[in-house]
Structure 1
Amino acid sequence: MDWLHNNDKELLLIGVDGCGGAGKSTWAEYMLSITQKGAVVHMDDFYFPSRQRVYPPDIGGHFDWKRMLEQVLEPLSQNRAACYQCYDWDNDELAEWHDVSPSGVVVIEGCYAARNELRPYYDYTVWVDCPRGLRLQRGLKRDGEDALSFWLDWMKQEDRYQDNQQPRSKVDWIIDGTEKIKTK
């Protein structure tokens, strides 16, 4: 990942996309650990509260990509600090606010991070690739067997996104999410 170090920009914006359970969060944290300056912003923080969701969901499930754009990507791309409100999954509401400095490496990580409307704001985009069966296995290990119907619906929404926007074919790099990350 020489490209993380071989640039002279004060701020490097990276979008890390892929399907649920592919290893996006792991790769985002790894990128941040080797640069040692910046932040990871999770798309999971941009979920719509249930009262704002529409059915059937738009391409991109129930993620509020417009809020991501307005609160994070637009300010950072203008070298201004970002301030965004997180979705609280336990209470199904928007909760605390987080600040992100316009310096170092800022990784936007999560499903739908490289959707067409967001991709122009990134310096680099990454797709973390992983077979469906392994992703489901990882998801159920993390969330429990009771989450099977949730995961099957989630995967159906991801399929719609991939069919509609073809994000994997539009990113700068494809990373194998089945491999264990080698740290320094």
Structure 2
Amino acid sequence: MPSRSDDPFGAALQRAVDDVVAAVADLTAPLPRVLIDGRSGSGKTTIAARLRERWPLPAVPRVIALEDFYPGWDGLAEASRMAVRGVLEPHAAGRLGMYRRWDWARDAPGESQFVQPTWPLLVEGCGLLTPESHPYADLSIWVDAPEASRKRRALERDGEGYAPHWDRWAAQEVAHIARNRPQRLADLVFELP
């Protein structure tokens, strides 16, 4: 196993997770909503998974990935709106949330997913943190990294099926950042290698 000095990304990721766990431990909301946004390949999904494993509060959170919301390769902006309407607003009001998971194989809406208002929420995905979603966050996080390392990690993770869509998706991320300034909305910002 490589040492931390041999893996700068792993070491930076571990420090980020430690900081997020500490921030969650300080939350006073009984069923907090934690939102993690960042560009593709930046590390947000890994942070979410490790945070769930180390969740410092009594009730374990429901993890929701925004990739289940994107209505296809051009759906980054719409997915955020869907998450607000279907999950974040109902959860904040103590109501059952619902969304339809996107079926990427069929390129069509898939089965319905229900979100109990009695669970803490850990929601992650590109395009999530906007002025509309931010009021529902008890903790908001922005994660980024240099394009070359993000692209390498994303393509290693998702394979060559993602490669033809990289530029198209990146353009939507750039538009999201320019329009919504998620890094300014975030309580915690991490720039990973």
Scaled to the shorter chain, the TM-score interval is 0.7 to 0.9
Instruction: Determine the structure 2 residue equivalent to 1:149.
Output: 164
CA contact (8 A) 2:35 2:128 kept: yes
Partner residue of 1:34 out of 54, 63, 66? 54
% identical equivalent positions:
29
Q: Give the RMSD, CA atoms, in angstroms.
A: 2.1
TM-score of the two chains, using structure 2 as the length reference = 0.79
Instruction: Determine the structure 1 residue equivalent to 2:3.
Output: none
1:134 Cα offset (Å): 0.5
CA contact (8 A) 1:81 1:102 kept: yes
Partner residue of 1:17 out of 37, 40, 49? 37
Q: Deviations over 1:65-86 (max 9, x none)?
A: 3321221011101122322211
Instruction: Determine the structure 2 residue equivalent to 1:44.
Output: 67
Instruction: Determine the structure 1 residue equivalent to 2:186.
Output: 171
Flag the 1:167–1:149 CA change in 2: closer, same or farther, 3 A: same
1:136 Cα offset (Å): 0.7
Q: Deviations over 1:28-77 (max 9, x none)?
A: 11121112601111111111258xxxxxx6xx735333321221011101
Instruction: Determine the structure 1 residue equivalent to 2:25.
Output: 5
Flag structure 2 segments of 5+ consecutive residues without an equivalent: 1-20
Flag structure 1 segments of 5+ consecutive residues without an equivalent: 51-56, 179-184
Instruction: Determine the structure 2 residue equivalent to 1:125.
Output: 140
More helix by share: 2
1:105 Cα offset (Å): 3.0
The answer to whether the aligner puts 1:134 opposite 2:157 as a matched pair is no
- Structure 1 residue runs of 4+, over 6 Å off? none
Flag the 1:62–1:120 CA change in 2: closer, same or farther, 3 A: closer
The answer to whether the aligner puts 1:95 opposite 2:119 as a matched pair is no
The answer to whether the aligner puts 1:115 opposite 2:135 as a matched pair is no
CA contact (8 A) 1:48 1:62 kept: no
CA contact (8 A) 1:130 1:177 kept: yes
Residue correspondences, number: 170
Instruction: Determine the structure 1 residue equivalent to 2:15.
Output: none
Instruction: Determine the structure 2 residue equivalent to 1:54.
Output: none
Partner residue of 2:98 out of 83, 93, 118? 83
The answer to whether the aligner puts 1:73 opposite 2:91 as a matched pair is no
CA contact (8 A) 1:10 1:104 kept: no
1:142 Cα offset (Å): 2.2
Structure 2 counterpart SS, 1:144: helix
Structure 2 counterpart SS, 1:64: helix
Flag the 1:112–1:62 CA change in 2: closer, same or farther, 3 A: closer
* Counterpart residue identity of residue 45, structure 1: D
